[in-house]
Structure 1
Amino acid sequence: MADPKGFMTTPRHDWPRRPVEERVKDWDEVYVPGALLPIISKQADRCMDCGIPFCHEACPLGNLIPEWNDLVSREDWRAAADRLHATNNFPEFTGRLCPAPCEAGCVLAINQPAVTIKNVEAAIADRAWELGFAPPRPPDRLSGRTVAVIGSGPTGLAAAQQLTRAGHTVAVYEKDDRLGGLMRYGIPAFKMEKRHLERRLEQMRAEGTKFRTSTAVGRDVGAAELRTRYDAVVIATGATAWRELPVPGRELAGIHQAMEYLPLANRVCEGDLAASPLSAAGRHVVIVGGGDTGADCLGTAVREGAASVTQLDIYAQPGAARDEDTDPWPTYPKVYRLSAAHEEARDLRSAPAADADARLFAASTLRFTGDAEGRVRSLHLVEVDAERRPVPETGRTLPADLVLLALGFSGPDREDGVIDQLGLELDPRGTIVRDAGFATNVPGVFAAGDAARGQSLIVWAIAEGRAVAAAVDRLLTGSSRLPAPIGPYDRPMRV
């Protein structure tokens, strides 16, 4: 603990964002480049060395947060990078994309703004790359065992890296033309530039991990055939089966799923397309769904030049402070948060029909209406109470010629045939059943990440990848020294 009084003398200071009018003109990350390093040592000083670090429990990776806060406060970047990478394969991802449940569990957050744990993590990861503290770590010798990982999202990549470093020969199969899963084509570049992903993939290639892109297991290669070719198979395909909105008018043209819209915008950034065929430019956009995916659509539509963009959230607007009855510390509270995308929409007044930050809370979609050509033109909604019951005489109509559905995901997609070809058992939610060792009902086949857990956070995805790697390593060698930070039935802290 470098400064015993840091939490009393130093206020919280977050990584500053670039001005709205500047950042909406490009797809670069929203933060001011280079502005984190001058402030982060003092921010790390705010860590209280509280004795019982609840941030450990709030983080499924078990990140050694007080330790690397102390090292950053002393600017010992090498040691900080070592402690951070001891529990997290991809801290540059979580430092940008994770909603930071660790900060909700910070003891300081009981009565003050929490330590900027997420910012400290991003600073350590970036400095590690700048100073050469994240070299490839190929195994000293090979085990002679082979593993196929299906899916290259954070779960699949974490599992592959752990197993490769343990000495196994690992091949990652990805159906898309580029690696990264939702981090590649679902997460907009303004939240995480793809150079961070590419840099980590190059590290993994140097360590010996093999990648097979544009290869859909179940179609391009049979899932059962893959099982016979490898000693073990890890299914990490994610939960990509999106939820539908069964209301009148859903069949109209111009209504799309968020994951039909976002990948096209990302492909424009990759240089594959000159413009997205679903571009929001000049259109009145309504996003149905109040979560992070909806916010990603919001920021993307603003950058594409939408005439207006409104986001509907079926839940009531949360308060600014934690409700100690429903969300007591150290659980992750449901409070009002202003993402970069909502800040942009607020400042640019992108949603004149909505509240100040483009969101309409407690709003439920009733139906869509269209024109003579069968294109959507309006969305009809009604306010709802806490039980999601319509409130009389609150109906409204919004202009809408592009509607994006961001309602979440229900489980793995069955269209590729992996589940049926292997005969995997599913639970009532549609996710893959596994035992306490991450093993499915098919010998040698394991399931991890959202495909088995259900829709979750990137930090849980990485933790699942690390844990399933330990289970596979144990199967192949009889024991394992790989860490297993969580079990398949662990869940976030709740009341």
Structure 2
Amino acid sequence: MGNPKAFLTIERKEAGYRPIHDRIHDFGEVEQTLNQNDRRVQASRCMDCGVPFCHWACPLGNKPPEWNDALYKGDWQLAYELLHSTNDFPEFTGRICPGLCEKACVLNLMEHEPTTNREDEAAICEYAWEEGYIKVEKPERNEHSVAVVGAGPAGLVAANRLNHKGYKVTVYDARENAGGLLRYGIPNFKLNKEVIDRRMEQLKAEGIDFQFGTHVVSDKKNVAPIQNDPTLGKDKIVSFDELSKKYDAVIVCTGTPEARDLKIPGRDLDGVYFALEMLSQQNRVLAGEDIPKDQLVNAKGKDVLVIGGGDTGSDCIGTAHRQGSKSVTQIEIMPKPPVGPDDPNNPWPTWPRTLKTTSSHEEGCIRRWNINSLEFIGKNGKLTGVKVQPIDWKPNPEGGRPIMVEAGEPEIIKAQMVLLAMGFLRPKQPEFPENVFVAGDAANGASLVVRAMASGRDAAEKVDSYVTSKK
């Protein structure tokens, strides 16, 4: 702790976003960066607490006091080594993690101005790439091999960890490239895909074998299409049983591929889409893929209604703006969260479930809560609006889920496009052979990228223990 009084004399300073009038015209990252001097000054605010709750809050067990101190002292290489010791890919979490560690920071309890851990993390990693601190390392091989199914955050971490332990690792994925939702769900304005490509080059150079366009299934005779991408994964089909016999161990990191649907009248109208149909396609368009005009999911000139109040819904709002939408409305069936910074139901150091306003919301959006969707309305097979109704929630006298009650008259929200962003269904995994392990969202249901990464790391340790015990 180089400056023990910094938290008393230096205010929190965030890099902030690019101006709205500038950023809504492109898909470049909206978040800016501080210069290196300001970044080191911000790192000095970390108090090196006797009980560092940031360690506790981070699923990866990151150690902000250690790498913030190294950053403040100008030792960027040490800062990266400390950061990378717990976090395989800090360039991902430094951009898209909600910063659980910051909400648990003691400075957040005292002044609601926690240390800028997430931005510091991103800055450290970018500096490490620029200065060549991140190098290709080819480990000495053992005689064992592992298959990882799914090249999302959990799968990439598991593959990276096992590769460095000497295993011959093969990663299978049904899509044409790696990243999972990092590549095909999160918009470029939050995570530039060159960031993923840069790390992928390193992983390949270090010996990980990637097999794309391969659909791994439980039953080859009954292959279900991938939701939103029914044509994917048909190039090659293999079964988990085949992989379990070919490799010493298999890790299933297939995420939560099935989005929650809204099966109300009019669901089949042209104009009602799952959120990922839009987000995935837009990322592919930006990657240079040619999408037939009649298959485009585009909001240009349309009144857009986003159903679902989470991060995926926010991503739809920002994407709709950049596609040239006429208007954007977001509705949520649950009540409006309390306006922060404190949440009486989740006091510090737990995560406060307070109202979140993202960069996409700032760009323009009507937001409404306690709204239930009743019917999609259309004309000549095309969506024209959605019939909704204000509702309220009352306690269930028998306990459990609250009871929904009507709280107003039905109304129609004008819309030519609806995006369903209501979360994902937790997958039901079949019974696997004993050498098959499940990690990430495939095991725990949809959650944060940082939690998926932590799960992938834990799975790698389990596989190593399993293979070692068998040996």
1:74-473 superposed matches below 5 A:
74-112=73-111, 113-139=113-139, 141-218=140-217, 220-273=237-290, 277-345=296-364, 351=365, 354=366, 359-371=367-379, 373-387=380-394, 389-412=404-427, 419=429, 424-425=430-431, 441-473=432-464
Q: Does the 8 Å CA contact 2:241/2:433 hold for their aligned counterparts? A: no
1:491 aligns to what?
none
Tell me, in whole angstroms, the C-alpha distance in 1 between the residues paired with 2:100 and 2:333.
23
1:70 aligns to what?
69
SS at match of 1:217: strand
SS at match of 1:410: coil
Query: What is the deviation of 1:320?
Result: 2.8
Q: Does the 8 Å CA contact 2:343/2:353 hold for their aligned counterparts? A: no
What's the TM-score, normalizing by structure 2? 0.91
1:483 aligns to what?
none
Give the 3 Å change call, closer, same or farther, for CA 391–111 of structure 1 in structure 2.
Answer: farther
Query: What is the deviation of 1:324?
Result: 4.9
- Quick check: 1:47 aligned with 2:46? yes
Query: What is the deviation of 1:178?
Result: 1.1
1:474 aligns to what?
465
Query: What is the deviation of 1:374?
Result: 1.4
Q: Which amino acid aligns with 1:381?
A: V
Query: What is the deviation of 1:479?
Result: 9.8
Deviation string, structure 1 residues 123-179 (Cα, Å, up to 9, x no partner): 11111111111112221x211101000000000000000000000000000100111
Deviation string, structure 1 residues 307-326 (Cα, Å, up to 9, x no partner): 11111122222233244530
Query: What is the deviation of 1:251?
Result: 2.1
Tell me, in whole angstroms, the C-alpha distance in 2 between the residues paired with 1:137 and 1:462.
21
Give the 3 Å change call, closer, same or farther, for CA 187–403 of structure 1 in structure 2.
Answer: same
Deviation string, structure 1 residues 94-124 (Cα, Å, up to 9, x no partner): 0111111111111111121211111111111
Q: Which amino acid aligns with 1:293?
A: T
Greater share of strand residues, 1 or 2? 2
- For structure 1, which segment, 124-133 or 312-321, has the greater mean C-alpha deviation from structure 2 after superposition? 312-321
Tell me, in whole angstroms, the C-alpha distance in 2 between the residues paired with 1:116 and 1:222.
45
Give the 3 Å change call, closer, same or farther, for CA 408–256 of structure 1 in structure 2.
Answer: same
Deviation string, structure 1 residues 16-67 (Cα, Å, up to 9, x no partner): 21111111111110023x5353421111111111110001010010001100
Structure 1: which 5+ residue stretches go unaligned? Answer: 346-350, 426-440, 481-495
Q: Does the 8 Å CA contact 2:151/2:178 hold for their aligned counterparts? A: yes
Q: Which amino acid aligns with 1:405?
A: L
1:9 aligns to what?
9
1:429 aligns to what?
none
Deviation string, structure 1 residues 188-233 (Cα, Å, up to 9, x no partner): 1000001110111111111110000111112512221122111111
SS at match of 2:345: coil
Q: Does the 8 Å CA contact 1:313/1:363 hold for their aligned counterparts? A: yes
Tell me, in whole angstroms, the C-alpha distance in 1 between the residues paired with 2:304 and 2:405.
23
Structure 2: which 5+ residue stretches go unaligned? Answer: 221-236, 395-402
The CA RMSD over aligned residues, in Å, is 1.7
Tell me, in whole angstroms, the C-alpha distance in 2 between the residues paired with 1:360 and 1:37.
40
Q: Does the 8 Å CA contact 1:322/1:328 hold for their aligned counterparts? A: no
SS at match of 2:344: coil
> How many pairs were matched up?
442
What's the TM-score, normalizing by structure 1? 0.86
Tell me, in whole angstroms, the C-alpha distance in 1 between the residues paired with 2:202 and 2:257.
27
Tell me, in whole angstroms, the C-alpha distance in 2 between the residues paired with 1:400 and 1:37.
46
Tell me, in whole angstroms, the C-alpha distance in 2 between the residues paired with 1:190 and 1:391.
38
SS at match of 2:190: coil
Tell me, in whole angstroms, the C-alpha distance in 1 between the residues paired with 2:369 and 2:55.
33
Q: Does the 8 Å CA contact 1:156/1:236 hold for their aligned counterparts? A: yes
Query: What is the deviation of 1:391?
Result: 3.9
Q: Which amino acid aligns with 2:278?
A: Y
Q: Identity over the aligned pairs, expressed in percent?
A: 43
Q: Does the 8 Å CA contact 1:36/1:123 hold for their aligned counterparts? A: no
Q: Does the 8 Å CA contact 1:254/1:375 hold for their aligned counterparts? A: yes
- For structure 1, which segment, 401-410 or 272-281, has the greater mean C-alpha deviation from structure 2 after superposition? 272-281
Tell me, in whole angstroms, the C-alpha distance in 2 between the residues paired with 1:334 and 1:27.
29
Q: Does the 8 Å CA contact 1:15/1:36 hold for their aligned counterparts? A: no
SS at match of 2:283: helix
2:226 aligns to what?
none
Tell me, in whole angstroms, the C-alpha distance in 1 between the residues paired with 2:388 and 2:124.
46
